[in-house]
């Protein structure tokens, strides 16, 4: 449909009917890999706004369709007939009520990859509950292992289940497209915030499932390896993964004398006196800058790095070298900073095609590409089946 040549998904058409964060994360990744993503917005509601919304919906064309109106449904069907992928994150009962469930759309287009995200899964006792990231963090166990010991549950500081679910669904879509090359058929792929959160629990989950151990909060210390954690220096905080021989770790800090103390002479003793050992290390680090500490650790081939606020993150020389930020104009021509896709392809590179489109801005051009003539488009517009959107997004307010 649109010219987005060069990416790995060049020629793949995606109809995006997602809201919030998890679904738009999936379709943004598909767009970055070259797919032509057509975002369907409700003319009554517009689209996600703010800098966050701009980053989520960049590189996507926007059409405004009202599925409550028969002509809107006709416009939607025209998109589905041409699509390779349809992505939605409605509750299971909602898409059934709207008549756009996988059985309906895959019958209309048997090659369609129908991709769904939900809070808790497509079936089961929680299937039709509303679900958001923090609920999944709690239900999936991550809040029980995050934060300092004895301080109660702590939320992870990013929408981790949203981002994970969107990324896992992207993987599912790519695998389904690959399978379609072999079978000629599309299929329904789906995941949820809860399933993605459980998957990310990974070794912590296995500590319970295999070892019968309920993992507890361990703050900034690694839950199983030691010494490995966050330490205070004279001018900030540093993460150190002292996984090499203890002599090398303490040697880098000029603290080899600690091994003469019975409390620290063996690994078992150091674990039993972990707080005292950490305190002794931090007494030395209190006279050392973060940069000095990192330099000493790197010289000893011990992983280490500063704990940065986001302003410092994007001023870091390695981050600048990676060229992770690109600027594109919003619909009013104002520059918006956007994050590039984190995977590099040496033959079919990812790219940020353009900035966010105004809600409904591409309705006419997309429908023309679907073979709908101008008279029909005018008729659908008059009936209210298609937009423009009544609520334009404001990206920089």
Buried b vs exposed e over 58-69: b needs ≥16 C-beta within 10 Å?
Answer: bbbbbbbbbbeb
Instruction: Report which of 61, 3, 60 is spatially closest to residue 30, judged by C-alpha positions.
Output: 60
- Catalytic amino acids? 162
Answer for the pair 340, 325: CB distance below 8 angstroms, yes or no: yes
Alpha carbons 331 and 216: distance in angstroms, whole number: 48
Tokens of 171: 């993987």
Q: First-to-last CA distance in the chain? A: 32
Please identify which residue in the block is written with the tokens 């500081």: 157
Alpha carbons 195 and 164: distance in angstroms, whole number: 10
Alpha carbons 119 and 129: distance in angstroms, whole number: 7
Plot region of 392 (φ>0 → left; ψ -120 to 50 → alpha; else → beta):
beta
R_g of the chain, CA atoms, integer Å: 26
Alpha carbons 238 and 244: distance in angstroms, whole number: 17
Q: Which residues pair with 15 in a beta bridge?
A: 38, 86
3-state secondary structure of 352: coil
Answer for the pair 153, 138: CB distance below 8 angstroms, yes or no: yes
Distance between alpha carbon 93 and the CA centroid of its chain, in Å? 25
Tokens of 365: 């051009």
């Amino acid at each position: 449909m649109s010219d987005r040549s060069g990416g790995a998904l060049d020629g793949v058409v995606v109809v995006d009917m997602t809201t919030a964060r998890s679904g738009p994360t999936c379709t943004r990744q598909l767009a970055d890999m070259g797919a032509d993503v057509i975002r369907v917005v409700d003319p009554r509601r517009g689209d996600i706004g703010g800098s966050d919304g701009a980053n989520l919906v960049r590189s996507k064309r926007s059409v405004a369709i009202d599925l409550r109106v028969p002509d809107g449904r006709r416009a939607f069907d025209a998109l589905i007939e041409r699509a390779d992928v349809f992505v939605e994150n409605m509750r299971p009962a909602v898409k059934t009520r709207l008549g756009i469930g996988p059985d309906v759309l895959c019958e209309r287009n048997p090659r369609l990859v129908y991709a769904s995200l939900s809070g808790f899964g497509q079936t089961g006792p929680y299937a039709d509950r509303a679900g958001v990231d923090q609920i999944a963090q709690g239900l999936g166990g991550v809040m029980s292992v995050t934060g300092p010991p004895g301080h109660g549950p702590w939320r992870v500081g990013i929408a981790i289940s949203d981002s994970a679910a969107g990324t896992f669904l992207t993987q599912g879509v790519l695998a389904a497209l690959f399978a379609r090359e072999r079978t000629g058929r599309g299929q329904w792929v789906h995941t949820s915030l809860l399933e993605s959160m459980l998957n990310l629990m990974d070794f912590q989950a296995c500590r319970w499932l295999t070892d019968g151990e309920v993992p507890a909060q361990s703050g900034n210390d690694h839950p199983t390896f030691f010494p490995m954690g966050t330490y205070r220096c004279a001018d900030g905080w540093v993460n150190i993964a002292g996984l090499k021989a203890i002599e090398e770790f303490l040697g880098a800090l000029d603290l080899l004398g600690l091994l003469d103390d019975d409390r620290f002479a063996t690994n078992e003793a150091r674990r039993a006196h972990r707080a005292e050992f950490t305190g002794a290390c931090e007494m030395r680090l209190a006279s050392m800058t973060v940069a000095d500490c990192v330099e000493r650790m790197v010289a000893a081939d011990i992983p280490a790095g500063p704990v940065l606020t986001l302003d410092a993150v994007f001023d870091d020389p390695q981050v600048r070298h990676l060229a992770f930020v690109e600027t594109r104009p919003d619909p009013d021509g104002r520059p918006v900073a956007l994050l590039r896709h984190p995977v590099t392809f040496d033959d079919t590179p990812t790219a940020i095609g353009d900035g966010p489109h105004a809600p409904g801005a591409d309705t006419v051009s997309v429908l023309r590409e679907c073979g709908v003539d101008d008279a029909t488009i005018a008729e659908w517009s008059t009936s209210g089946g298609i937009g423009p959107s009544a609520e334009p997004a404001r990206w920089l307010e």
